[in-house]
């Protein structure tokens, strides 16, 4: 009889604990977020941009430097999922959807850089975003890395402008040399860097523009023979 009572009490206790745990809300974790919002074309900071969470609550607003700081909550279940929405009068609204693996527990610190596009503006530069993980979310920290972001954006803009200007593949940019396809680019050591065309014809980079047009390039890649050589494949016709 004593054994029966003990088992009965044990089962009742487990049922009670299960109900307690089931009724508890799922643990919420915090993403501390800061960043800079800027015009995707001019790359100038934008003031008074509202930053919303997935529920539609305003979590931050940019200042005169385009800087913002706020917090997001996420449920620690099947990875880290959340959305960030940006709205500013005169600009297209922009939503960033994230779905990260659950690579770390607890609070996360990240800096975002949002480039948003003006409404009704004829521009081939769409809205975009970049982010980094950082323990320092201050404006100084965000601003320091922002210069690196802008440098990459300016370089990509230069590359895109060169693609529009001609069908050339070899270019000198700021005293450096590049081989450019329609989908990528490779930095070369010098104009004398060797180029293999379909692994058959070998010429120096400075002569590639007189040999083929960029639209005929299927792929560019580094070879693995110790020297700086580029292999180019022409599209089959």
165: CB partners within 8 A, 6+ apart: none
- The model carries a pTM of 0.64
29-164, which class in CATH?
A: mainly beta
- Of residues 129 and 199, the one with the higher pLDDT is 129
pLDDT at 22: 44
Flag whether pLDDT at 202 surpasses 60.
Answer: yes
d(CA 168, CA 216): 11
Provide the residue ranges of all domains of the chain, joining segments of one domain with +: 29-164, 170-232
Name which residue leads in pLDDT, 235 or 136: 136
β-strands 229-234, 217-222: how paired? antiparallel
Tens digits of residue pLDDT in 71-87: 998 766 677 888 999 99
Q: How confident is the model at residue 103 (pLDDT cuts 50, 70, 90)?
A: low
Token reading at 179: 């081989």
Highest mean pLDDT among 52-56, 80-84, 191-195, 197-201: 52-56
* Contact of 54 with 131, CB cutoff 8 Å: no
3-state helix, strand, coil in the chain (%, to 5): 25, 40, 35
Query: Which long-range contacts (C-beta less than 8 Å, at least 24 apart) are formed by 20-26?
Result: 26/75, 26/76, 26/77
pLDDT of residue 15: 53
Tens of pLDDT along 24-59? 444 568 899 999 999 988 889 999 999 999 999 999
Q: Give the pLDDT confidence of 145-176 residue by residue, as tens digits.
A: 888 888 888 888 899 899 999 999 999 999 99
In angstroms, the CA 160 to CA 196 distance is: 24
């Amino acid at each position: 009889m004593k054994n029966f009572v003990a088992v009965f009490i044990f089962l009742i206790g487990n049922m009670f604990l299960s109900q307690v745990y089931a009724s508890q809300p799922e643990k919420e974790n915090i993403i501390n977020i800061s960043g800079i919002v800027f015009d995707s074309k001019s790359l100038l900071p934008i003031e008074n941009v509202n930053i919303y969470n997935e529920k539609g609550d305003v979590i931050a607003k940019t200042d005169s430097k385009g800087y913002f700081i706020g917090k997001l909550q996420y449920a620690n279940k099947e990875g880290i999922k959340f959305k960030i929405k940006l709205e500013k009068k005169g600009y297209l609204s922009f939503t960033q959807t994230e779905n990260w693996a659950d690579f770390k527990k607890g609070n996360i610190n990240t800096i975002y850089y949002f480039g948003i596009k003006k409404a009704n503006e004829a521009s081939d530069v769409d809205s975009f975003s970049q982010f980094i993980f950082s323990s320092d979310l201050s404006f100084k920290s965000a601003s320091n890395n922002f210069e690196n972001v802008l440098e990459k954006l300016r370089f990509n803009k230069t590359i895109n402008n060169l693609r529009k200007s001609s069908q050339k593949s070899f270019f000198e940019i700021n005293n450096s040399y590049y081989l450019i396809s329609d989908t990528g680019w490779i930095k070369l050591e010098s104009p004398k860097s060797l180029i293999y065309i379909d692994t058959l014809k070998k010429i120096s980079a400075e002569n590639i523009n007189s040999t083929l047009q960029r639209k005929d390039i299927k792929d560019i890649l580094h070879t693995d023979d110790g020297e700086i050589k580029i292999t180019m494949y022409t599209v089959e016709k």
